[in-house]
Amino acid sequence: MGWLTRGAVLALVVSLLLAGCVRVQSGFSLDRSDDGTTKSVSVGGELRVVLPASATWSLTSNKPSALKLKSVSSGSIGGSDLKIWMFDVLETGRFVLRATGDPLCRKDAPPCSLPTLEYNFTIDSH
């Protein structure tokens, strides 16, 4: 294995390990289990949203100016394919981040009948 390939493998492993962290520096990670909960995050901190890659997701906020999307990535942890959004928290206040996902199998022929997924995360930024 060449040095470039080893470096790429190392970068992938580090990325996946970081994606599995629950707490990030000055912020939080949210996933399906946080649906309906309120998380307290400091302005200037990071907010990570981790959801299954088995759906086409739309993330919206009732206070769009409070978050700035930094990156979107995909990975696999423990055999689960995931999509990861990283946000910077820009403003104080309370707002809701809503994740709505349409299962990918709806694009199949014939389409599946799985329901749309929806998760609501309340963020209290200070």
**Residues 10-29: tens digit of each pLDDT:** 444 445 444 444 444 466 89
Output the pLDDT for position 77.
Answer: 85
User: What is the side-by-side strand order in the sheet with 117-125?
Assistant: 38-41, 117-125, 93-103, 55-61
Output the pLDDT for position 28.
Answer: 83
Residues of the chain with pLDDT under 50: 1-14, 16-25
Record the pTM: 0.76
Output the pLDDT for position 62.
Answer: 97
- Asked if 123 contacts 37 with a C-beta cutoff of 8 angstroms, the reply is no
Classify domain 3-125 at the CATH topology level: Immunoglobulin-like (2.60.40)
Please enumerate in sequence order all residues whose Cβ is within 8 A of that of 112, keeping only pairs 6 or more positions apart, or say none: 103, 105, 106
Output the pLDDT for position 11.
Answer: 46
Question: Where do the domains of the chain lie?
Answer: 3-125
